[in-house]
Amino acid sequence: MHPYNYVQVYNKLRSVLSAEELSLFAKPEVNPDFTSWLAAITGGVEVYALSAVSEAERDAVADILEELKAKVSKKISAVPDYAHMAASFFMVPGQGHIRVMRTERGRYLPLLTAWACQHIDAVSAVDPLSRFLQKPRVTTDVVDILVQYTNGNNAGNKFFFIDFLDHETREKTNDEGIFRRGRGKLGTSFTAYDKKGGERVWEKEFVVTQGGSYIYRVPLLVNCTVRITDQKDAPVPGAALLFTASDGEKEYQSDGSGAIKIEDAEAGTGLKVTEKDNEGNTKTYSITSEDPQEFVFTIKRPYTLSPVIKVVDKNNDLLPGYKLVHELTNTEMVANGAGEIKFNSIEEGTVIGLYNPQNMINRMQYLVNDEGPFMFRVEEPEVKMVKVRLVDHKRNPMKNIAIDFLYGGKVQSGITNEAGFCVLPYDGFTHGEKVKVRAHLSADARKYKN
């Protein structure tokens, strides 16, 4: 800061600081080659060097100086032209420029007889005023803040905020997750917090105590991507989903690639994903400390197909014009000239059932998961019959012999063939019904009948 600016800055301080706060700074006087500071000393006030007062009195001065520093820093930071210089106002060339004023009432107050400047030979990063405030006092104790994530890990190199006496500072932990604030006055309080969307979050207030422990816990926030796919693993853009996490329920919509990205998911918690239009479709994922991490959520979408069913016989020959009935609609369907029955816009996963009402053994169902073609094989019913073979005493077949079949009060006749067989179909018979057979033999044949 150049010498000719000090008077201007001091006058600005007079407009923003209280009388007590302004009394901390000696009034500057600019000379051609140097700047001098003059304390605005009123009657009855005595000024001492720090070394001239007792340890208890030095501690009292340090307590007041620490509070004034916080108040003044806040006010200066609010002045646009001087905000960037807020920290430098409390730089002094040496500890000898920190003086003590004793009022008529016996109160000890700090006085900076030179400020916002350093000694020309200064090499230390810690200025004399900060070194003075950090010295042990009977009224203070060391304040080391351990910042941890809620999963128990220390938050190394993490930025966070501290509010002390309504003055906000942005701080950063070391590699071990510790921020060494220095010494704090016993009984004073400060608030640690973070910010999200410009708002204060995860606030915790601490009170400085002798030998106190100051552990500030914040969520470990990680990046998550939820990919929305259908049953065929294809991405689903524009899907509306409900996400329930540690901060409540929110609605999201998948982007053009079928993804939803979350930049502030809290590790160690669960993420419940629900399809908005189908609340029965829900899944919960565990968020770990891995960053980034990805999850997949499946939505069932309707797929329509146009399946073809070929109607064939047992020899796989096509059967044009064959008639079947649709189980669901009970409508007749006829195979076209190519022996095919075609369907349009059938949703994947639908079951199609077809049958022949004239022959119920011809009944089949198909799960539509592609367009086929599927096969409907027509099976002819097994021909059931009563078969008689007529042989002579030498077991030679007897042909052209009349045979009567007697059953249910009926008689049906037939003639044996070359092999001696005579067959009577009995589709109309009931199970277990008895059939009597009578052969019409000549006299010679009866002699040798067997």
CA atoms within 13 A on the CB side of 289: 9
Report the top-level CATH class of 304-377.
mainly beta
- Among the listed residues 383, 390, 424, the one whose alpha carbon sits nearest the alpha carbon of residue 407: 424
Phi, psi of 313 (to 5 degrees): -95, -170
Tens-of-pLDDT digits for all 450 residues of the chain?
A: 444 478 888 888 888 899 888 888 888 877 666 666 665 455 567 888 888 888 888 888 888 888 888 888 888 888 888 887 777 888 888 888 898 988 777 778 899 888 888 766 655 555 788 888 878 777 888 899 999 998 788 999 999 999 987 888 899 999 999 999 888 888 999 999 999 888 999 999 999 999 999 999 999 889 999 999 998 889 999 999 999 988 788 999 999 999 999 988 888 889 999 999 999 999 999 998 888 999 999 998 888 878 888 888 888 888 888 888 888 888 898 989 888 988 887 887 788 888 888 777 777 788 777 777 888 888 776 666 778 888 888 888 888 989 888 887 788 888 988 888 988 876 566 656 778 888 888 766 555 444
| 339-to-277, 312, 331 alpha-carbon distances in Å | 42, 7, 18
Q: Helix or strand or coil: residue 130?
A: helix
Same CATH topology for 140-218 and 304-377: the answer is: yes
| 127-to-117, 239, 375 alpha-carbon distances in Å | 10, 59, 92
Q: Give the 3-state DSSP-derived string for 210-244, with helices as H, strands as E and coil as C.
A: CCCCEEEEECCEEEEEEEEECCCCCECCCCEEEEE
Architecture of domain 140-218: Sandwich (2.60)
- Among the listed residues 95, 89, 87, 26, the one whose alpha carbon sits nearest the alpha carbon of residue 58: 95
Residue 333 and residue 322: Cα distance in Å, rounded? 8
Answer whether 312's CB lies under 8 Å from 376's CB.
yes
Task: Note the pTM of the prediction, 2 decimals.
Answer: 0.47
| 310-to-49, 316, 317, 430 alpha-carbon distances in Å | 109, 9, 10, 35
- Among the listed residues 385, 375, 377, 344, the one whose alpha carbon sits nearest the alpha carbon of residue 361: 377
Residue 162 and residue 177: Cα distance in Å, rounded? 15
Q: Helix or strand or coil: residue 12?
A: helix
Q: Tell the CATH topology of 223-298.
A: Immunoglobulin-like (2.60.40)
Query: Which amino acid is it at 271?
Result: L
Residue 59 and residue 140: Cα distance in Å, rounded? 8
Output the pLDDT for position 444: 62
**Domain boundaries, given as residue ranges, for the chain:** 3-134, 140-218, 223-298, 304-377, 385-448
